[in-house]
Amino acid sequence: MKEFVEYIAKSIVDNPDQVVVEDKVVEDKKLVLALRVHQSDIGKVIGKQGKTAQAIRTLLQAIAAKDGKRAILEIVD
Protein backbone atom coordinates (compact mmCIF):
# COMPACT_ATOMS: atom_id res chain seq x y z
CA MET A 1 0.00 0.00 0.00
CA LYS A 2 2.88 2.33 0.81
CA GLU A 3 4.38 1.71 -2.63
CA PHE A 4 1.02 2.39 -4.30
CA VAL A 5 0.62 5.80 -2.67
CA GLU A 6 4.24 6.65 -3.46
CA TYR A 7 3.77 5.68 -7.13
CA ILE A 8 0.60 7.76 -7.50
CA ALA A 9 2.12 10.80 -5.76
CA LYS A 10 5.31 10.67 -7.84
CA SER A 11 3.19 10.56 -11.00
CA ILE A 12 1.32 13.74 -10.04
CA VAL A 13 3.99 16.07 -8.61
CA ASP A 14 6.76 18.14 -10.25
CA ASN A 15 9.38 17.06 -7.66
CA PRO A 16 9.04 13.26 -7.46
CA ASP A 17 12.35 12.88 -5.64
CA GLN A 18 10.87 14.67 -2.59
CA VAL A 19 7.88 12.34 -2.15
CA VAL A 20 8.05 10.47 1.16
CA VAL A 21 5.46 8.04 2.47
CA GLU A 22 5.70 6.94 6.10
CA ASP A 23 3.54 4.19 7.50
CA LYS A 24 2.37 3.85 11.08
CA VAL A 25 0.38 0.93 12.41
CA VAL A 26 -2.12 2.25 14.92
CA GLU A 27 -3.84 -1.07 15.51
CA ASP A 28 -3.37 -4.50 13.99
CA LYS A 29 -5.97 -3.89 11.26
CA LYS A 30 -5.56 -0.12 10.87
CA LEU A 31 -2.77 1.52 8.90
CA VAL A 32 -2.05 5.26 8.74
CA LEU A 33 0.07 6.54 5.85
CA ALA A 34 1.62 10.01 6.01
CA LEU A 35 2.39 11.55 2.62
CA ARG A 36 4.96 14.34 2.44
CA VAL A 37 5.65 16.27 -0.77
CA HIS A 38 7.50 19.45 -1.70
CA GLN A 39 5.68 22.59 -0.56
CA SER A 40 4.92 23.64 -4.15
CA ASP A 41 3.33 20.24 -4.93
CA ILE A 42 0.79 20.09 -2.09
CA GLY A 43 -1.90 21.68 -4.25
CA LYS A 44 -1.42 19.07 -6.96
CA VAL A 45 -1.77 16.19 -4.51
CA ILE A 46 -4.87 17.69 -2.89
CA GLY A 47 -6.51 18.85 -6.13
CA LYS A 48 -9.46 21.15 -6.64
CA GLN A 49 -11.80 20.92 -3.65
CA GLY A 50 -9.78 17.91 -2.44
CA LYS A 51 -10.93 15.65 -5.26
CA THR A 52 -7.48 14.23 -6.09
CA ALA A 53 -6.76 13.45 -2.45
CA GLN A 54 -10.18 11.84 -2.07
CA ALA A 55 -9.60 9.69 -5.16
CA ILE A 56 -6.26 8.47 -3.78
CA ARG A 57 -7.91 7.70 -0.43
CA THR A 58 -10.72 5.77 -2.13
CA LEU A 59 -8.26 3.61 -4.07
CA LEU A 60 -6.17 3.07 -0.94
CA GLN A 61 -9.24 1.96 1.02
CA ALA A 62 -10.16 -0.51 -1.73
CA ILE A 63 -6.68 -2.04 -1.67
CA ALA A 64 -6.71 -2.23 2.13
CA ALA A 65 -10.15 -3.85 2.15
CA LYS A 66 -8.80 -6.71 0.02
CA ASP A 67 -6.35 -7.47 2.85
CA GLY A 68 -9.04 -7.09 5.50
CA LYS A 69 -7.48 -3.87 6.81
CA ARG A 70 -8.38 -0.20 7.05
CA ALA A 71 -6.07 2.48 5.66
CA ILE A 72 -6.00 6.23 6.28
CA LEU A 73 -4.01 8.73 4.22
CA GLU A 74 -2.73 11.93 5.82
CA ILE A 75 -1.18 14.64 3.67
CA VAL A 76 1.42 16.45 5.77
CA ASP A 77 2.82 19.90 4.89
Residue-by-residue DSSP string for 3-65: HHHHHHHHHH-S-GGG-EEEEEEEETTEEEEEEE--GGGHHHHH-GGGHHHHHHHHHHHHHHH
Question: What is the per-residue pLDDT across 38-77, written as a single tens digit (0 to 9) for each?
Answer: 999 999 999 999 999 999 999 999 999 998 999 999 999 8
Domains and CATH numbers, the chain: 2-76 (3.30.300.20)
Q: pTM for the complete prediction?
A: 0.88
